[in-house]
Structure 1
Amino acid sequence: MRPALTITPLFNDSSQQILDLILPIQQIEFNVPITLEGQPDLLNVEAFYHQTGGGFWGAKSNDELVGTIAMIATGHQACAVRKMFVKKEYRGKEMGTAELLLNTLLNDCRAKGITDVYLSTVDMLKAAHRFYERNGFERRKSEEMPAYFPRMTPDNVYYHLHLSA
């Protein structure tokens, strides 16, 4: 049974909840070699996302943050997806958390006239790859990504989705 989820924009007052969700998934669950120091955006989502034309959203079950997704507006009618994380207990097609988060971001893209959605991830996140591909994203080589796409270490798998007008 699907939990009752609410998708809402997240701001700086949610920084601790964001950190408490994302860092353990990155560092403990998936052993991604990244620290908070390498992600200053997590401490100031308003400056990095909202104030630049992007956004940062959270999925909440009651008052608990169980998922996040963010968008960096890059100009060129394009954006970069960032910080797509879902708590283990809320993952999977049956739960629908990732789908709700992605649809929120894509609806925001359409409203802003963004037609090209790019993202990067790491090779070990196979379930994420399947999710993106199931949602129409096409895998790209690093050199096929536009120069304006903001790259993140340790990402090494790239995707693109073209939104119809």
Structure 2
Amino acid sequence: MPPNLTITPLFNDSSAQIQGLILPIQQIEFNVPITLEGQPDLLDVEAFYHRTGGGFWGAKSADELVGTIGMIATGHHACAIRKMFVKKEYRGKELGIAALLLNTLLIDCRAKGITEVYLSTVDVLKAAHRFYERIGFERRESEEMPAYFPRMPSDNVYYHLHLNA
């Protein structure tokens, strides 16, 4: 684990850092054709995540934001995971940052009585698929996702995890 790593809730005052982490990973590293304008949640994390009853967390090494994860509470004892990204230099099982971020979110889910966790991603993020499946997420077809699941136009791979209460 990197020195001084902390997982902490992020709010609108961290928007520039959040965008500075996520957009280059999406656009440059993985060539996902998505813009800031197509992701209004990055402009107002408080409205899209915290006010839904969800949350938005960041992994910081010293003062540098190196990872993020967001949860949108959707009702129905369910949530959608969004914006799970870790800076390339901080990825991997050895550092475990993605697992720490996800564990933080799942602890919050259990505290809030959320038992159904959904997420969507894009097909090019193969390492992310392996990570989710190793944790216990099961792949779903788009048609199997509940109607209340908030969809992102660029996403084409779907997952579900049932949490025991």
* TM-score interval (norm. to shorter): over 0.9
Q: For residues 7 and 51 of structure 1, what CA distance do their matches in structure 2 show?
A: 20
Report the counterpart of residue 107 of structure 1 in structure 2. Answer: 107
Query: Counterpart of 2:21 in 1: which secondary structure?
Result: helix
The alignment covers a number of residue pairs equal to 164
- The answer as to 2:123 corresponding to 1:123 is yes
Q: For residues 109 and 98 of structure 1, what CA distance do their matches in structure 2 show?
A: 17
User: Where do residues 67-146 of structure 1 align in structure 2 (5 Å cutoff)?
Assistant: 67-146=67-146
Q: Deviations over 1:60-102 (max 9, x none)?
A: 0000000000000000000000000000010001110000000
Query: Counterpart of 1:143 in 2: which secondary structure?
Result: helix
User: Where do residues 50-69 of structure 1 align in structure 2 (5 Å cutoff)?
Assistant: 50-69=50-69
Q: Deviations over 1:110-140 (max 9, x none)?
A: 0000000000000010000000000000000
- Runs of 4+ in structure 1 deviating by more than 4 angstroms, as ranges, are none
Q: For residues 36 and 85 of structure 1, what CA distance do their matches in structure 2 show?
A: 15
Deviation at 1:31, TM superposition (A): 0.2
Deviation at 1:51, TM superposition (A): 1.1
Q: For residues 151 and 7 of structure 1, what CA distance do their matches in structure 2 show?
A: 26
Matched AA of 1:123: D
Q: For residues 75 and 132 of structure 2, what CA distance do their matches in structure 1 show?
A: 22
Q: For residues 141 and 52 of structure 1, what CA distance do their matches in structure 2 show?
A: 25
Q: For residues 124 and 98 of structure 1, what CA distance do their matches in structure 2 show?
A: 18
In the superposition, the TM-score normalised over structure 2's length comes to 0.98
Query: Counterpart of 1:36 in 2: which secondary structure?
Result: coil
Matched AA of 1:39: Q
Report the counterpart of residue 30 of structure 1 in structure 2. Answer: 30
Report the counterpart of residue 3 of structure 1 in structure 2. Answer: 2
Q: For residues 52 and 130 of structure 1, what CA distance do their matches in structure 2 show?
A: 29
Deviation at 1:12, TM superposition (A): 0.3
Q: For residues 55 and 123 of structure 1, what CA distance do their matches in structure 2 show?
A: 25
Q: For residues 49 and 145 of structure 2, what CA distance do their matches in structure 1 show?
A: 21
Identity, % of aligned pairs? 87
Matched AA of 1:119: L
Q: Deviations over 1:21-71 (max 9, x none)?
A: 000000000000000000011011011110110100000000000000000
